[in-house]
Amino acid sequence: MKIKEIIVVEGKDDTVAIKRAVDADTIETGGSAINEEILNRIKHAQATRGIIVFTDPDYPGEKIRHTIRQYVPGCKHAFLPKGLARGKNGKGIGVEHASISSIRDALSGLHQEYEQEIELISIDTLLYYGLIAGPSAKGRRERLGECLNIGYTNGKQLQKRLQMFHITQERLEEALVKIDQEEQ
């Protein structure tokens, strides 16, 4: 599987894992202390070949994703569920621990970031579907992130992530029907 875009990862071990799974070039951020030189390289890559942001499913990874999104709008994003990014014996979470098939699946389920806004899914809707309150909200959000390929979000970020990737109310409802069927 050849990827035309350049994949932005956190470090060398992520690059090794990506290259095991696909034929692609990478840019390494060097962790969450991403500097202006790296951001300029990412901006140039976006203008010439496009980029895919593929960071770890943890707080530092989300921080890097957010920094890149602010500096380089219009990126594509790949997300890996935490369960597929755990190291041996449950130690560590990161792209470098993912299987070849998990990396390929994440890269085939890309989301394009859009600059144009869509109608916001309301907080009331998210409450109604049990995504931001109640004992099972965290689990439902986690499963929703996997179904929609948008990664896990906390309750505050869910609405923003749905809007960022142009997830319509109809698409949200389809994913929730699937989740509800799985739980039965």
Taking only the tens place, the pLDDT of each residue in 62-111 is 999 999 999 998 899 999 988 888 877 777 889 999 999 999 999 987 77
Question: Where is the domain boundary, 88, 112, 136?
Answer: 112
Residues 78, 38: one domain?
A: yes
Q: Is the pLDDT of residue 116 over 70?
A: no
More confidently predicted of 56 and 118: 56
- The DSSP 8-state label assigned to residue 136 in this structure reads T
Q: Is the pLDDT of residue 145 over 80?
A: yes
Segments forming the whole domain that contains residue 73: 6-112
| Distance from chain centroid for Cα 96 | 15
Please state the domain count of the chain.
Answer: 2
Taking CA atoms, 118 is separated from 143, 154, 164, 174, in Å, by 23, 21, 9, 18
Residues 70, 154: one domain?
A: no
pTM of the model: 0.71
Residues 140, 97: one domain?
A: no
Average pLDDT taken over every residue of the chain: 89
